[in-house]
Structure 1
Amino acid sequence: MSRSTCVPTSEPALVVAVDGPSGSGKSSVSRAVARRFGLRYLDTGAMYRALTWWCLEQGVDLTDPAAVVDAMDAMPLEMGTDPAAPSVRVGSVDVGQAIRQTRVSEQVSAVATNLQVRARMRDLQRRLIHEASEGIVAEGRDITTVVAPDADVRVLLTATELTRLQRRALELHGHAEESAVAATRDQVVRRDRDDSTVSQFVTAADGVRTIDSSSMTFEQVVDALTELVGSRTGRVPRAGSA
């Protein structure tokens, strides 16, 4: 009888799913945690923003669901998943900054609430997660419940409305004074209201851990998620990671 040789296998790809409303800090926190564990990073919200940008550039009527689906099928989207330098390209165009412009922010909900688009995006997002052999942190609004419900770690990252408005105002206007917060309110509150009609990101589903970052610094939130990943999976951050 021949004796089989046991070959050590590498650790299975780790998947961390992070959901949350606008301004909760999920993008920056997810990138930081991905760097700590040597994982890839996927900003699913940027995918909807890229499609919105593409439709606006192509003159597609966002109120025509079928036309938006056709536009998505034709869009040459490329998502760069390096957490140190994530990128979003449509064909040869780097749209990383363009998709954050006000004209996209004001229109993206029309695309993100298109159920046919969401079904296609779900399949694409699952493929990108599956292809990340190193593992991945994927963040968005329905990652813990729809896209990756079997993720190793599932987190809802939230904060009070005022905290989220102040963070987004600081990001967009450079300060969080009352005028900047007021100018930001529509983008944050209305989008969350619209998107909540098709995805759940306000209340954690069963098995999803909630982290309320309202009174936490950025570093504290990153540490909390790092600790959660470690306790749930036994993984440890890479040496020298910050």
Structure 2
Amino acid sequence: MVVIAVDGPSGSGKSSVSRQVARRLRLAYLDTGAMYRAATLWCVERGEDLADARAVAHAVRVMPLEMGLDPAAPIVVLEGRDVSAAIRSTEISTAVSAVATNLEVRAELRRRQRQIIEAETRPGGFSDGAGIVAEGRDITTVVAPDADARVLLTASEEARLRRRSLEVHGADDAAAVEATKDQVLRRDRDDATVSQFHVAADGVVTVDSSELDLDQTVEAVLAVVAQVTAS
């Protein structure tokens, strides 16, 4: 059984790398960022005022959310609907920080994340007890500080903007990069008010992917996992 936690700024490659690591090691995969996006979609659809912290927190506490843990198809199911595409819309990407910086929401989603991680360390879950790769804010420091391997995946601002531009707009020219800045830099700035993900905490290994492609970054993270789990 192994638990791997991966954190880092937006556009650093957390999701793509973590999914590949989970597939390679045949583990479950948890995208915690998708949980915050789902919570945002849930509140928007219910007409909640995202500035009303108490109302938003109450809505999230009763949110019927199921997280698909298959790294080959990590779907997000909200109230019985597959919302995997809907949570990636520009509307949700723009609004998610208002929900993600709500401390009561963070407490609730951290609780759910811990439950999911714990379930994957026992027989019966997606991995049947083999373990999980969990990625996103607070994972290495708050949600799973005792994970077997903890990685801070980082990259230069230029590299992160280029990657997110390709992901969202299918291009990395100046216009596409400019259109992506809000989703990357502004969200990181907002999230940094409630979470630390720019500097590795004690025991967390930093992997800089600025000059690495996806396969090279996956290999770098796998090397960290092999080293810490062998010691």
Aligned-pair RMSD on alpha carbons? 1.0
TM-score, normalised by the number of residues in structure 2: 0.95
Task: Determine if the alignment matches structure 1 residue 180 to structure 2 residue 180.
Answer: no
Matched, 1:39 2:35: no
- The match for 1:157 is 153
Give the Å deviation of 1:74.
2.0
How many equivalent pairs are there?
223
SS at 2:183 equivalent: helix
Please say if 1:76 is aligned against 2:64: yes
Inter-partner Cα distance in structure 1 for 2:61 and 2:210 = 39
1:195 aligns with 2:191: yes
> Which secondary structure state, in structure 2, belongs to the residue aligned with residue 107 of structure 1?
helix
Distance 2:223 2:211 in 1: 18
Whether 1:48 aligns to 2:36 is yes
User: 5 Å matches for 1:85-234?
Assistant: 85-132=73-120, 133-234=129-230
4+ runs deviating over 2 angstroms: none
State the SS of the aligned residue for 2:227.
Answer: helix
SS at match of 2:179: helix
What is the distance in 1 between the residues matched to 2:71 and 2:168? 21
- Kindly provide the amino acid, as one letter, of the partner of residue 229 in structure 2: T
Cα deviation, residue 234, structure 1: 3.3
TM-score, normalization by structure 1: 0.91
Question: What code does the residue aligned with 1:22 have?
Answer: S
Q: Which residue of 1 aligns with 2:8?
A: 20
SS at the partner of 1:137? strand
Q: Percent identity?
A: 63
Q: Give the secondary-structure state (helix, strand or coil) at the position aligned to 2:39.
A: helix
CA offsets, 1:99-150, max 9 Å, x none? 0000000000000000011111111100000001220000001100000000
Q: Which residue of 1 aligns with 2:123?
A: none
* CA–CA distance in structure 2, aligned partners of residues 85 and 66 of structure 1: 33
**Where in structure 2 are there 5+ consecutive unaligned residues?**
121-128
- Tell me, which stretches of 5 or more residues in structure 1 are unaligned? 1-12, 236-242
